[in-house]
Each structure stands twice: as structure tokens, then as C-alpha cells.
Amino acid sequence: MALSWRFWFLAPMVMALATVVLFPTVYLFWMSTQHWLVTDPQRFFVGTDNFQRLLAGADFWQALRVTAAYLVLSTVIMLGLGLGMALTFARAGRGWMRAIVVMPLVIPPVVAGFTWRFLLNGEIGFLGAWLLPAIGLELNPLAEPRAALVSVVIADVWSRTPFMFLILLAALQSIPRDFYEAARMDGANPFHEFFFITLPLLKGALFVAILFRIVDAINTFELIYVMTRGGPGRATQILSIFGWRTAFQELDFGQAAALGVVLLFICLAGAMLLFRRFVQRDLEAGA
Amino acid sequence: MSAPRRYGRWLALIRAGFLGVVFVFVVFPLVWLALASLKTRAAALEVPPALVFTPSFEAYEKIFASGLVGAFANSLTIALTNVALSLAIGLPAAYALARMRGAVQQNLSFWVLSIRLAPLFSIILPLYVLFKALGLLDTRIAVAMAHLTLTLPLAVWLLMTYFRAMPVDLDEAAMLDGAKRWQTLLLVIVPISRPMIASVAVIVFIFSWNEFLLAFFLTARDAQTVPVVVAGLAGTMSFDWPLIAAISIGSMVPALIFVGFAQRHIVEGLASGAVK
Amino acid sequence: MKASTRLLTAAAFAIALPTAASAQTEINIVAFAPGFAWADMFGPSGTDKTDKLRAFEEATGITVNIEFADEETARQKVLLDLVNQTGTYDLVMLGSDGAVQTFSYAGYLEPLDDLLSTATEYFDPEAVYPQFLEANRVDGKLWALPYYSFGAGVIYRKDIFERYGIAEFPETTEALAGALDTIKAGLEKDGITDVYPLTMRGAPGEEPSLDLSGFVYAYAGYPAWFEGGATTPEEIRANDARPIFTGEFREGFEAFVEWSREYGPPGIATHTWVDMMNLYGAGQAVVLMPSAINGFAALGGTENTDVAEHTAFAPSPAGPSGLPVQSFWTFSVGVSAFSDNKEAAYKTLAFLTGEQAMQGFAETIGWPYSTFPAITRGEVLGEKWPAEMLDQIEASYEQADPHYFPYIPELNAFMERIGTAASEAISGSKTVDEALAELQAWAEERMERAGYYE
């Protein structure tokens, strides 16, 4: 029997992803078991050594804490802002305004990083050196550890909220009007409407938005790198910057790969959890 | 009926205030960037910045004088190639997944989604090894292919959820008329999904256009993209902020044209079922 | 699917195929700073070949291709290229503060000693300041040739020093600290809040490490990283020399951190050399040290008349040990061990770092640093800079110990860690002792793992 059409439809995707993702991932697992220091001509199998050293070191946990803080802070703000914007724009058209608020989407994060670095710079930046002191805030937004984390979150929110906004806006607009009209007949106020109609119907969109946000946050690199280089000290050194430093500055490819593997599992676990909660039931319901 | 009206006035006020804050937050850095691109190097670093000044187009002239235009061509080629690949591979896959049921479908769609979770910094070296073996280092096709790690799962997922929401009757009607599956997809499904496909194309384009890390490592002289060039300029001995600002503004133009062209489709397409 | 694969392959070939092969040998280089490095060869944008370069290409049959990236990222590209033995680049940008040491020990570079005699018409090793060659000598062999290079020094605002009653620039670190106190108090009294007594760099990573190593050297009187001042793998192995970051390294480290906190700008814990340069150029810093080169970079771009008119140079002050604070570095270029055309690569390298090229550097950039005494003493620089300053700069090379930090394969990783430790201490997220204890623990583990003490 000829292979099902489904096979031919899926094969290119599976092949493409296998090439650009599966191969690197397998390679990554292999690397993580190697003693591989660029400074050392010998490369050999060390089992779980890299993992043990990684988990025993303070750097990993520090970077994990920073990543968690950064992830939670930026995601919460982005969700709030994105949802607020989506609600505001859902009814009225406001075409030109909508076009303007999504503009940061087309600015590469590396540029967004430079822009905010210069705005927030404590000596020559418009915000950091002029506006903040003018309103009585005497702190350096890029060099004071906590402020630096807030600064990179602000830049990230600026750069990435539009994507979340678009997904949520689209979902909002696909909710039939009748739902609201029916609720209003029953005397519901706008808050009831939001909590009992809007929010439940946004579940799927929220899953997609949050998942892509997490992936994005974990992979944030150039934005933070150009703003603070992960500093001051290690205050904004999220896992991706820590991994970069381990691999390309400290030249410890084995340990960097171990970090990659650990990170992959953390993300998988998170995604599985979200998937179960938000999506699986819907997929089953569709069956 | 008085309750909604009472809330309505307050809500309108809150909305207006919120919108104002958001607007300033979004627009201010853009305006500042645009102004910096029209200043001289020293003036761009002044505090407080001058709002009234004689604009200088020196920075923009430099872009054209110095062959940086090539980077724009690279970025555009890479992003468009990536869009074409994502759609060519993603459309049939998404359609097949949407018409499947049960464990295989669930596992496969989760696998597709989780592909995006591989941390980029850790696949750089393997990807470099891979493209070296293929002899594709410093080519635009290599970057376009590498960007599939980011864009293909996104495209498949968005299209799959969209196709699922489409009634199966359409397929069945076409099949009854004797159409093969690929004909059904190309002649029936694709035409009515145009807004959605357009919006997926835009999103894929933007992700590819903005990406830095992979583009940086896989390119050398011939295939550098705009973000890579911007990062490179920051390392020159004369920190040319207006030039960086000008390239940044310039880098928005092609993306804006592309987005503007499909602006309406993005929201409509996504709204018609993709993210429900 | 078959069709799409075929299409893909075809597309890949169409894009990947190199330009038609020619009789010319192609030499590829990766470097940073377009319009600065070899502006006389590749033009102000780094993309237009000049007549000078074309003449070389015609005379030798070598086509020279250069790729510019930003400094830190260019290093990563060199690293990937070498680790994978790709050989994309025949000539690689190195730098005498890590790359030369790491890559030479790893066997990724071609030793140049035997090649030196093959292109003396371009590069005559006898005509260069020996310290700049010494900086690129590891384990007795020469691995790279120096392009633009510098010694330590101070760039400062004479007018502000005089305003607060300091006529001469201090000659010791102790006296300089006193002067900086006076200036700080004076600025405060005059209500000037946006000018800082000192600008240095404190971003995490290798950024501050060169200058910091210079402080450590001046305070301890030797490269105080390992017991007994061991600076080579052999010495470390032979004497079982342990890291001493919590020992004699501490004094210089603490001074660097304290000065940054006391006299530096508020954002110094994330500042790179770009910020250092911008601040001085904007007239917001009184002293820039010990990498005076960044001050000359600022002078080149400033539109601030006070900065342009009242800037002066002074030799780097001596630390408690009597030795001056160091900041000696060469932007050096080496030949990849995986190059297919090593002789042509060397010839190109000799041309790009030779007297002609440095003359071009002096003419286009005009900084008072050169690797050739003949150029320091030549017309171009002589007309531009006071003779006394050129004497002092020359002295800074002669006084320099190019090996003021250890020459070990792990140098990159150490530089990275030291800089990050400094950034943490400067920002106050750790005390000096906490930061150093962590550095010490890491260093011991790293050296153990590399098998030094077996």
C-alpha cells in the first residue's frame, strides 16, 4: 500500500527540523559528556562531570535566579500591557495608532538594546542623566544591580510587547459580539464581562503568547549584552549570557553544553505543564 | 442599563490615560532614535538633547557611500527565503496535523512546538559544524535554513490551529469531486486562508529579519545581515551613534513596508481562528 | 518533496558557489574597527580597496579580503573558525591579552619565526620596538605580528588640574589619589555634578582586566597571579605555584575598585572603553587612565573645545612597588594553522603590519603610538605631537614588561573572571574580599582540572 498522504505532507517538515534541530541537539548531548576545553588539546569522555560541576557552582544558580526574576517580571508586565492594549484597541479601529504601537516589532533587539542603553545611560542618557535626576531619582539605571535588571526588563517590554499585543488582539476580535450582548442583557458589568467571557475565551491565545514569551526570554541575548553585558557584575547575567561566557570566553565547551541540556529539560518541563493545562483538552475536545 | 454607562465613563477615562502612557512609552525612543540619526556625532551625545537643530543627512549618506546597502539586500533575501521555506514546508505539515487525531497528532504537534525550546547559544557550535560540513558557511541559504529553527514551528503551530477550526466539509466536497489531497490543499484550502497565510508570513519575516545570534555566527563577509552590521559598527574606534541610529531607522523601512502591506491581514488572519 | 529538495539544493549551490576561480591567491582576514584599522588599505568604511592595497595585490598576485566585526564578537568568530579547523580565515585577529596565548598553546596558529625572513621587504623585525614582538611571543616562539599597539599612560585635563591648584601631574599612585581627592572636593564645591575626576572601565567580562592587571603589577611589583610570580605553565608546574588572588593580587585589585567607586562616574560598573572614550570626549572626565589610547580616540572625535585645547599627556604613575601602572597591549594578527596558503598569508601579514602600513596608520589616524621607532620619530607624528610626549610614550614601551600577566593557555578565562569580579566589587553587589574569594576558588578548580598540579 502506498504511504498515506499524511506522510508526504509531514515528511519535509520532519526532515527540515531534524536537520536544523535534531542534529544539533544530539551533538549537544554528546558535547555535554566530553571534557572539552579549548585550552586543552585533549578531549575525552567524562560522563556526568560537566553536569556535577555546573550544578555545584554558584554561577549557575545565580544565573537561574536572575533568569527567573527577569522572566517573571517581564512576562507579567508584558501580559498586563499587552492585554490592556488589546482591550483598548479591540473595539475602536484606530488604525494609525495601532500601526504605531506595533512599530518596535520591526526593530531588531540589538538596536533596541543600543537605544535603551543610550537613553538610560547615567552620564549622557536623556532618561538616566537628565530626566531621572530631574524628578529626584538619584540612581544609575545601568550600574546599580537592581535597577539594571529593571532597565533590561523595560527595554525588553518595549521591544516584545507588540507581538503579545497582536496575538491577544486577534483572539479578542474573534470572540463573537453576541456573547457580550447576551451578558449585558443579564445585567453584567464590564468587569463581569472581562472575567467571565473574555478571559476564559482567551485561554488558548494566552498559552501561545506565554509559551513564545518564555522561549523568547530564555533566548534573549543581544538586548542584554549590549545594554549591560550581563552586569554590573552578574546582576543581569541570565542563563543565555552565562552559557555564552562559559563557551566563548572561558572556552569550556563541555560545561556550556551541559548547561544547554539542563536548560532544554527545564523548558520542556515547563512547556509540558502549560501544554497539559491549556491545550491538550482542547485538542482532545476537537477529536 | 445605567450601570454600564456609569462604568463606561470611567472606563473611557482610564482607557484614554492608559493609551496616552503606552503611546509615549512606545514612541519616545523611536523619535529619539530618529532625531539622533539626523545629528552630528557630538550633538547626538549632548545632555539634554537639543530638540531644535539643523538636520544633517551625513549618516544616511554614509550608508549609501559605504556599501552597507548590501547588508539590507542580504537581510531581505534571507528573510524572504525563510518565509518561502517556512510556508512551503509548514503549510502541508500544518494541514496534515490539523486533519489528524489521537496520540500521534498530539505528540507530533508538541514535538514541533518544543523544538523551539532548544537554547540558541548551545546549538551555535553544532549548527556551525553542520553548515561547515555542507559547505554552506557564509551563505544566505544557511542563515535562512538556520532561522527555520525559530520560524517553522511557529508557522506550523499557527497554521495548524487555524486549519483545525476550518470545517472538514470543504475538504470532503473537494475530494468528492475527485481532487487529490495536494489539490485540495492548494486549490481549496490555501485560497480561502490567504489572510492567515499573509499574517504568518509577516510574523515569520519579522523574526528572521530581527535575528542576530545565528546570522552572526553563520555569516562572514558575504552574507551579513543588518543586525550583524549594526553590532559591528558599535565596535569601531569612533563610536558613530548617528550612523547606528540611521541604520536602525533604515532597517525599519523594509520591514515596515512588508508589515504595512499586510498590516490588516495580520490581525484579521490571526483573528479568524488561529489563536482561539 | 523531491522537487523542493532539488530546488533547495540548486538554490544552495547558486548562492554558495564562490566567485569564479582566478589565478590570484585569496587571503581572508577577520578583524575589528573598520575605518580605523587599515583605513589606508580598505578605505574609511572598510569596504573599498585603495590604490596602495591594489598595488600590493598586483605585485604579489594575492587578493586580500577583509571582514570587519565588533571586537568581542570578532574574537568569537576567530574562535569558532579555529576550533573547527575551518580555515576560512588565513589571518586572524588576536590581541596579546588572551588569544595569542590560548590559540598558540592549542596549536591553532603557525609559528612565525621561520617565516620572518621571507618578507623583510615589508616587515623588518629588527626595525620594531622589541617589546611589541615580545608581547606576542609565547613559549619561546613568535605567533603574531603587532598592528596598532600601545603602552600605558594618562590623558588628563590640564585646565581642571590647574583650577584646583595642581601644577604637575603626580608621579605616584598615592599622590594621584590625593590629587583626585582635591579635584573631587573642588568639583563638589563648585556645584559641578556631571564631571567626574576619573574614567576607567568596569563592565563584566574581560573589559577591565588589562588595566586591572596593570594596577596589580604596580602594587605588587610583579605579576601577582600565582605564587612566586610564575607566568608560564612550566613555572607553575615546576614550582607547584597556586593562585594568589586572595593574597598579593588583592592590593592592586582593591585600588582599582576603590578608585572606580570613589572617583569614577556612577555607571562605571557597566562601562566599556566606548563609555570611557565618550565621557572624556564630552568633557565629563578629568583623568583617563591607564589605557591612554582611549583618550586619544576621544580627542579624535570630540567637538568640545575645552577638551581639544586643554588635554595633556602624562606617564602612567608608579605604584607602591615603584613600577608604573601598566596597560600594554598589541592588536596583533597571526597566521591560522589551517590556512592553505601560509606563505602568502605571511606575506600579506608582513605587508599589513609593516612600516608602510604603520606609516599609513600614522597618516590616517595620527595617534602618537606606533610599532616602529622610525615612525614615532618621523615627520607625521613629530608635527602633530610635542616631542616630550613622544619621548614619554616611547619610555612607556621601554619600561613595560609585556608579560605583566601570566602567559598561560587559560588566560582568556582568567581575564573574563577577573573583570567580572571587579565589576561585582565596583557595583557593590559583593565586597572586594567576597569577589576575590570566589575568584580564588574558581582559579584553583580550573588549574586543578587542567592538570597543573598532578
The proportion of chain A whose per-residue pLDDT surpasses 70, expressed as a percent, equals: 94
The answer to whether A271 contacts B23, with C-beta atoms less than 8 Å apart, is: no
- pTM of the model as a whole: 0.90
Q: Find all residues with CB under 8 Å of A135, minimum gap 6, and list them.
A: none
Q: Which residue has the cell 482607557?
A: B15
Question: What are phi and psi for residue C30, nearest 5 degrees?
Answer: -120, 135
Residues C383-405: pLDDT tens digits?
999 999 999 999 999 989 999 99
The answer to whether A39 contacts C413, with C-beta atoms less than 8 Å apart, is: yes
Cβ(A108)–Cβ(B227) below 8 Å: yes
State how many domains chain C has. 2
Which CATH number belongs to the domain containing residue B116 in this structure? 1.10.3720.10
Cβ(B149)–Cβ(B143) below 8 Å: no
Q: Find all residues with CB under 8 Å of A238, minimum gap 6, and list them.
A: A63, A66, A67, A70, A217, A218, A220, A224, A230
**Same domain assignment for residues B24 and B116:** no
Helix (H, G, I), strand (E, B) or coil at A141: coil
For residue C195, the 8-state DSSP code is: -
Q: Which of A142, A133, B234 is nearest to C268 (CA)?
A: A142
Q: What is the pLDDT of residue C15?
A: 45
Does some domain include residue C9? no
Q: What is the pLDDT of residue A3?
A: 67
Cβ(C136)–Cβ(C143) below 8 Å: yes
The answer to whether B66 contacts C12, with C-beta atoms less than 8 Å apart, is: no
**Same domain assignment for residues B143 and B6:** no
CA distance B268 to C3: 33
The answer to whether C282 contacts B42, with C-beta atoms less than 8 Å apart, is: yes
**Same domain assignment for residues B79 and B13:** no
Q: What is the pLDDT of residue C349?
A: 97
**Same domain assignment for residues C145 and C275:** no
The answer to whether B232 contacts C34, with C-beta atoms less than 8 Å apart, is: yes
E strand or H helix at B218: helix B213-218
The answer to whether B217 contacts C15, with C-beta atoms less than 8 Å apart, is: no
**Same domain assignment for residues B68 and B25:** no
The nearest CA of chain B is from the CA of C297 a distance in Å of: 7
The answer to whether B235 contacts C32, with C-beta atoms less than 8 Å apart, is: yes
**Same domain assignment for residues B14 and B72:** no
Which CATH number belongs to the domain containing residue C228 in this structure? 3.40.190.10
Residue of C nearest to B240 (CA): C301
Q: What is the pLDDT of residue B165?
A: 77
For residue C266, cis peptide bond before it (omega within 30 degrees of 0): no
Task: List, as own/partner pairs, every contact residues C51-59 make where C-beta atoms lie below 8 angstroms and the sequence separation is at least 24, other chains included.
Answer: C52/C356, C52/C360, C56/C348, C56/C351, C57/C24
Chain B interface, mutation test: which of C2, C27, C47, most B Cβ atoms within 10 Å? C47
For residue B236, the 8-state DSSP code is: S
Does some domain include residue B41? no
Residue of B nearest to C72 (CA): B235
**Same domain assignment for residues B204 and B100:** yes
**Same domain assignment for residues B15 and B78:** no
Helix (H, G, I), strand (E, B) or coil at B188: helix
**Same domain assignment for residues B257 and B146:** yes
Chain C interface, mutation test: which of B212, B237, B243, most C Cβ atoms within 10 Å? B237
Overall average pLDDT of the A60-89 stretch: 94
Cβ(A94)–Cβ(A233) below 8 Å: no
| Residue-averaged pLDDT of chain C | 91
The nearest CA of chain A is from the CA of C268 a distance in Å of: 7
State how many domains chain B has. 2
**Same domain assignment for residues B10 and B142:** no
Cβ(C123)–Cβ(C350) below 8 Å: yes
**Same domain assignment for residues C393 and C274:** no
CA triple C101-C106-C108, angle to 5 deg: 95
- Least confidently predicted of A133-137, A166-170, B252-256, C422-426: B252-256
Its domain, for residue B7, covers 2-36
Residues A103-122: pLDDT tens digits?
888 888 988 998 899 889 88
Please say if the pLDDT value at position B4 is more than 90.
no
Residues C170-206: pLDDT tens digits?
999 999 999 999 999 999 999 998 899 999 999 999 9
CA distance A190 to A179: 13
Residue of C nearest to A118 (CA): C275
Does some domain include residue B46? no
Task: Return the axis-axis angle of helices A109-120 and B241-269, rounded to nearest 10°.
Answer: 130
Q: What is the pLDDT of residue A42?
A: 84
Residue of B nearest to A207 (CA): B275
Does some domain include residue B216? yes
CA triple C416-C420-C425, angle to 5 deg: 150
Helix (H, G, I), strand (E, B) or coil at A219: coil
* Domain spanning A72-239: CATH 3.40.1190.20: no
Q: Which of A168, A165, A114 is nearest to B23 (CA)?
A: A165
The beta-carbon neighbor of A166 closest among B148, B241, B266 is B266
CA distance B202 to B153: 15
CA distance A39 to A281: 51
**Same domain assignment for residues C257 and C354:** no
**Same domain assignment for residues B146 and B17:** no
Does some domain include residue B99? yes
Handedness of CA C55, C92, C200, B40 (dihedral sign): positive
CA distance A77 to A156: 10
Does some domain include residue B205? yes
| Confidence tier at C2 by pLDDT (50, 70, 90) | very low
**Same domain assignment for residues C105 and C129:** yes
**Same domain assignment for residues B175 and B259:** yes
Q: What is the pLDDT of residue A145?
A: 94
Cβ(A41)–Cβ(B140) below 8 Å: no
B40: buried, middle or exposed (CB in 10 Å: 19+, 13-18, 0-12)? Answer: middle
* Other Cβ atoms closer than 10 A to A94: 13
| Confidence tier at A215 by pLDDT (50, 70, 90) | confident
Q: Which residue has the cell 570611557?
A: C276
What are C263's three cell numbers?
572617583
Does some domain include residue C7? no
Q: What is the pLDDT of residue C7?
A: 47
Q: Are strands C62-69 and C144-150 parallel, antiparallel or unpaired?
A: unpaired
Question: What are phi and psi for residue C64, nearest 5 degrees?
Answer: -105, 120
Q: What is the pLDDT of residue C45?
A: 73
CA distance C454 to C237: 9
Domain boundaries, chain A: 26-56+252-287, 72-239
CA dihedral C357, C359, C363, C369 (to 10 degrees): 100
Q: What is the pLDDT of residue B95?
A: 92
CA separation (Å) from C73 to A124, B17, B234, C201? 25, 43, 11, 19
Its domain, for residue C178, covers 154-327+409-449
Helix (H, G, I), strand (E, B) or coil at C134: helix
The proportion of chain A whose per-residue pLDDT surpasses 90, expressed as a percent, equals: 40
**Same domain assignment for residues B136 and B30:** no
Query: What b/e readout covers C311-322, taking b as 16+ CB neighbours within 10 angstroms?
Result: bebbbbbbbebe
What are A75's three cell numbers?
512576562
**Same domain assignment for residues C316 and C353:** no
**Same domain assignment for residues C298 and C444:** yes
CA distance B226 to C414: 33
